[in-house]
């Protein structure tokens, strides 16, 4: 990811330690690192500092290039506890500003104008509830990161039953895949001051869509062999 004249690359290192239970097994954790490449002289890029960070880099502040956004994925027993962190880079160190916890599996994270959009899939611990089987649920999160120390997480007005991952954000709409085989998409209307609002579901061509674009009031979904599908927004 390029921010100004700096190219950032995230890498991670596995760390295995003995299981405290003493059963002879190991406990695995991950250490994330940020590599800085100075591109101010394009003919002679320079490798910068190797910085320990709280996750995978997903974006940066539009007003302060030193304020970076990260996603971390944590498996805690039977629960997935992912998070979005804000960290300020200064002097070879990354100073943590805030952490937004997300209970569930986080998919693609898209950052636009200091807002992070992502879907959270809640299903693993919801299958059994009082002896009955419940479906998984998908939530669309819009996290306002304009105040680094106090992010505001706005969650879609209603959880959608089934599987879904964020496909893209185009203007004031977010598009989430719908169904195990991605046979459709759910479209949400976005607002800077309110939670994403579910608008409609659309059946997609073929086996689903892998990218989108928007012109005016029309979304265009690319779906491989089945061509481009136009969707006129409500």
Q: Cα(180)–Cα(113) distance, rounded to whole angstroms?
A: 31
pLDDT score recorded for residue 158: 63
**Domain housing 177:** 2-232
Mean pLDDT of the chain: 86
- Average pLDDT of the segment spanning 81-94: 93
Centre a 10 Å sphere on the Cβ of residue 144 and count the other Cβ atoms it contains. Answer: 17
CATH code assigned at 137: 2.130.10.10
- Average pLDDT of the segment spanning 85-114: 93
Task: Count how many domains the chain has.
Answer: 1
Burial-class residue 3 by CB neighbours within 10 Å (0-12, 13-18, 19+): middle
Q: Cα(117)–Cα(104) distance, rounded to whole angstroms?
A: 15
Q: DSSP E strands: which ranges in 26-180?
A: 26-38, 46-53, 56-60, 67-72, 75-76, 79-90, 93-103, 105-112, 115-122, 128-129, 132-133, 137-144, 152-155, 160-161, 166-170, 173-178
DSSP code at position 159: P
Contacts of 226 (CB under 8 A, 6+ apart): 205, 206, 207
pLDDT score recorded for residue 144: 97
Tens-place pLDDT, residues 150-178: 999 999 976 666 778 899 999 999 999 88
β-partners of residue 87 are 68, 96
């Amino acid at each position: 990811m390029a921010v100004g004249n700096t190219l950032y690359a995230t890498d991670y290192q596995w760390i295995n330690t003995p299981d405290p239970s003493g059963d002879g097994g190991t406990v695995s954790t991950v250490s994330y690192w940020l590599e800085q490449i100075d591109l101010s002289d394009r003919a002679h890029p320079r490798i910068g500092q190797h910085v320990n960070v709280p996750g995978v880099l997903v974006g940066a502040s539009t007003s302060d290039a030193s304020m970076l956004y990260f996603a971390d994925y944590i498996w805690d027993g039977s629960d997935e506890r992912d998070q979005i962190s804000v960290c300020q880079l200064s002097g070879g160190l990354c100073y943590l500003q805030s952490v937004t916890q997300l209970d569930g599996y986080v998919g693609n994270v898209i950052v636009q104008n200091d807002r992070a959009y992502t879907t959270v899939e809640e299903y693993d611990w919801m299958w059994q509830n009082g002896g009955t089987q419940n479906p998984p649920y998908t939530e669309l999160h819009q996290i306002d990161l304009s105040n680094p120390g106090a992010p505001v997480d706005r969650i879609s007005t209603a959880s959608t039953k089934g599987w879904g991952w964020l496909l893209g954000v185009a203007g004031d709409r977010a598009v989430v895949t719908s169904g195990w085989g991605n046979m459709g998409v759910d479209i949400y209307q976005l607002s800077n001051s309110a939670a994403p609002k579910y608008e409609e579901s659309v059946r997609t061509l073929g086996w689903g869509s892998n990218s989108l674009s928007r012109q005016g009031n029309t979304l265009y979904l690319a779906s491989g062999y089945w061509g481009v599908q136009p969707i006129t927004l409500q």
